[in-house]
Amino acid sequence: MSSSRVLVVDDEPQIRRALRVALGGHGYVVELADDGEAALVAIATWRPDVVVLDLMLPGIDGLEVVKQTRQWSDVPIIVLSARGDERDKVTALDLGADDYLTKPFGVDELLARLRSLLRRTAGPPEATLRFGSVVIDHARRIVTRDGEDVHLTPTEYDLLAVLARDAGKVLTHRQLLLRVWGDYAAENVQQLRVYINYLRRKLEQDPAQPRLIVTEPGVGYRLKPPDDR
């Protein structure tokens, strides 16, 4: 059970009620907001541990809420969007949201995303990260799989390290390109795909059906912690 504070922002009363009941039943303390202005006030005054934010809101929309919040707060934000709105998802993530769910979604999936975000923000990053049979030693820049060293090029290691530091979080194509290659490569999605494939061949049990580095169609990639797979 968790006592973490979750702010749910949605203009549909039935969704607010359903999430209050579902999350409350798992020990979360839930506060509700029905528009963007109320959300910004609650983030500033109630100080939630996580925000679950619908993008389609009256008045100040969800994208503006993310943008304004990121000017002063790093509270984890999960955005909710309609199916097919990849552009809005990507924009929200590039503005600083941490994850997204597509409506309709299951409560179990939301709970898994909440647990992942809360783990990632609970303390300082670990020097050594384990993802099943894959171990990343950041201090020595060494990666092993099943106890055997895996040779990665500097660029492959940098890409894996970026994914690992935000394990469980979806990172957009642009975020990954900027963090690994810099501004000059920010639109070169094909280059990113090539290096993702290199990593999968070296780290996945079955590169054709990856379970570690997962594609988020139209958005980017996510490195999944073992208990999320």
pLDDT digits (tens, 9 = 90+) for 52-101: 999 999 999 999 999 999 999 999 999 998 867 788 999 999 999 999 99
pLDDT digits (tens, 9 = 90+) for 140-165: 889 999 999 999 999 999 999 999 98
DSSP 8-state class, residue 184: G
- Please name the CATH architecture into which domain 128-228 falls: Orthogonal Bundle (1.10)
Averaged pLDDT, 169-191? 84
Contact 210, 224 (CB under 8 A): no
Cβ(223)–Cβ(212) under 8 Å? yes
Distances in whole angstroms, Cα of residue 194 to Cα of each of 149, 198, 201, 205: 22, 6, 11, 18
Instruction: Give the pLDDT score at 226.
Output: 65
- Give the confidence band of 128 by pLDDT, cuts at 50, 70, 90: confident
Strands in 12-137 per DSSP E:
29-33, 50-54, 77-82, 99-103, 128-131, 134-137
Task: Provide the pLDDT for residue 227.
Answer: 56
What's the CATH code, domain 5-120?
Answer: 3.40.50.2300
Residue 35 backbone zone (phi > 0: left; psi -120 to 50: alpha; other: beta): beta
CB 31 within 8 A of CB 5: yes
pTM for the structure as a whole: 0.80
Q: What are phi and psi of 171, to 5 degrees?
A: -115, 130
Domain boundaries along the sequence of the chain: 5-120, 128-228
Residues with Cβ within 8 Å of 187's Cβ and at least 6 positions away in sequence, in order, are: 174, 177
List, for residues 191-228, the tens digit of each pLDDT value: 999 999 999 999 999 999 999 999 999 899 999 876 55
Q: Do domains 5-120 and 128-228 have the same CATH topology?
A: no
